[in-house]
């Protein structure tokens, strides 16, 4: 169907370059735009015949003109090989034929472009709707997702990894979002991207990697993928954090993966790339009932006292954040490495454990630390 407003706009443009009268007829043979405004809305018999017949054009000479039909050229407008309307130019056919061909081509190109824009918008809206279902629907069936995944030609069994991008600068965030969308369009559209209600960017990045190499390569793949956006944000002094959840190949698990990303955002300090797989124990500890921890640690907490507990929390935060590197923990707290060693020795004496030499001791200290933090 030819849009009336689009046809009128085209007539206005054509009128600036030619004196010939131009008519555009819709699929019913009705004139919907013309330089002769009084003709708009009237029935055009030649156009109607072309749209219902096999011919693609009709030439009316002065000799042939009768019953109010004016001489000129009428040509069928095709969109996707379908007859959508007719364009007609009034005048000597020998003079207006070249112009008629150009006008016909212009109308077809404009209609195809409008259709292209509509399809792109429709697909984008479908993606938005699908992401809304995946992120916010607590109860959803696979049947409800099928129309979206089929229309968007998404491979459900493709391995995708959830990434929540947090960027406080709205303008830079929009630039990053546009870059991600364009890159996805060029790479086949298997990555799902949208903004969240909290105005972060959420995507389920499609991973092109052999199954046997996923765990070996996924971090490298993500770091290469995100590097341009990280560097872009950094160049403007803007902090961009990527919270990366666990990989999935089942749409029914995407919401939970998104919730894991939100947990990272809430509980792990921002900056750079944060992987959920690095904080599984902390996550499990965070969802365990506090009553369990009270039974295990409450007596110890009371006996140590507030001063020891405060020093323990500060030191353990630095050690955990810097993977038990004494020098890096010192830099984190802006103290000398020897100060960290001194504090750690005090903890060893009080608790009779050594997290640097015993994994069991390290697990105990981290559980105690997360218990105290939850308090």
Return per-residue pLDDT of the chain as tens, 375 residues: 777 887 888 888 888 887 888 899 998 999 999 988 888 998 988 899 999 988 999 888 877 666 666 788 999 999 878 888 999 998 888 888 988 898 888 888 888 877 666 556 556 688 888 888 899 888 888 888 888 888 888 988 899 999 999 998 889 999 999 999 899 888 888 999 998 988 899 999 999 888 888 888 999 999 999 999 999 999 999 999 999 999 999 999 999 999 999 999 998 888 899 999 988 888 988 888 888 888 999 999 988 888 889 999 999 999 988 989 999 999 999 999 999 999 888 888 888 888 888 888 888 988 898 888 876
Residues 17 and 114 in one domain: yes
For the chain, what is the radius of gyration of the CA atoms? 34
Residue 143 in domain:
no
| C-beta separation of 114 from 80 below 8 A | no
Query: What SS3 state is found at 116?
Result: helix
Residues 228 and 262 in one domain: yes
Show which of 118, 142, 171 is a domain's final residue: 118
Between the CA of residue 75 and those of 53, 64, 110, what are the distances in Å? 12, 17, 16
Between the CA of residue 303 and those of 278, 300, 349, 351, 353, what are the distances in Å? 32, 5, 14, 11, 16
Question: Which pTM value belongs to this model?
Answer: 0.60
Q: How far apart are CA 305 and CA 315, in angstroms?
A: 16
N- to C-terminal Cα separation, the chain: 65
Residues 297 and 282 in one domain: no
| Phi, psi for residue 272 in degrees, rounded to 5 | 75, -150
Between the CA of residue 354 and those of 58, 137, 334, 344, 357, what are the distances in Å? 94, 46, 23, 8, 6
Residues 28 and 111 in one domain: yes
- Which neighbouring-strand residues pair with 90? 72
325: containing domain: 290-374
Q: Where are the beta strands (DSSP E) in 96-235?
A: 160-167, 192-195, 201-206
Residue 125 in domain:
no
Residue 339 in domain:
yes
Residue 141 in domain:
no
Residue 278 in domain:
yes
Residues 159 and 279 in one domain: yes
Total count of domains within the chain: 3
Residue 251 in domain:
yes
Residues 313 and 265 in one domain: no
Strands 201-206 and 192-195: antiparallel
């Amino acid at each position: 169907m030819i849009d009336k407003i689009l046809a009128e706009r085209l007539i206005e443009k054509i009128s600036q370059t030619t004196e010939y009268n131009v008519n555009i007829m819709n699929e019913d043979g009705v004139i919907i735009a013309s330089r002769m405004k009084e003709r708009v809305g009237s029935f055009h018999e030649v156009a109607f015949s072309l749209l219902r017949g096999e011919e693609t054009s009709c030439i009316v000479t002065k000799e042939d003109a009768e019953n109010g039909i004016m001489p000129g050229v009428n040509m069928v407008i095709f969109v996707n090989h379908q007859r959508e309307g007719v364009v007609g130019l009034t005048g000597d056919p020998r003079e207006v034929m070249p112009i008629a061909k150009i006008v016909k081509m212009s109308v077809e190109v404009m209609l195809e472009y409008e259709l292209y824009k509509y399809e792109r918008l429709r697909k984008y809206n479908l993606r938005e709707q699908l992401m809304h279902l995946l992120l916010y629907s607590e109860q959803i069936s696979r049947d409800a997702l099928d129309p979206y995944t089929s229309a968007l030609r998404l491979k459900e069994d493709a391995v995708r990894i959830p990434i929540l991008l947090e960027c406080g600068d709205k303008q830079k965030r929009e630039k990053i979002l546009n870059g991600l969308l364009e890159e996805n369009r060029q790479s086949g559209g298997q990555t799902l991207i949208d903004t969240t209600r909290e105005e972060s960017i959420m995507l389920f990045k499609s991973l092109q990697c052999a199954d046997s190499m996923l765990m070996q390569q996924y971090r490298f793949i993500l770091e290469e993928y995100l590097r341009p956006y990280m560097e872009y944000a950094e160049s403007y002094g803007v902090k961009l954090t990527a919270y990366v959840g666990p990989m999935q190949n089942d749409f029914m698990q995407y919401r939970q993966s998104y919730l894991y990303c939100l947990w990272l955002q809430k509980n792990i300090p921002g900056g750079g790339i944060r992987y959920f797989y690095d904080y599984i124990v902390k996550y499990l500890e965070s969802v365990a009932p506090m009553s369990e921890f009270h039974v295990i640690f409450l007596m110890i907490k009371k006996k140590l006292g507030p001063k020891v507990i405060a020093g323990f929390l500060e030191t353990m935060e630095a050690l955990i954040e810097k993977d038990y590197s004494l020098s890096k923990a010192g830099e984190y707290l802006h103290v000398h490495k020897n100060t960290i060693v001194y504090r750690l020795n005090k903890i060893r004496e009080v608790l009779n454990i050594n997290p640097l030499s015993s994994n069991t001791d390290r697990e105990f200290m981290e559980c105690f630390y997360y218990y105290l933090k939850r308090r």
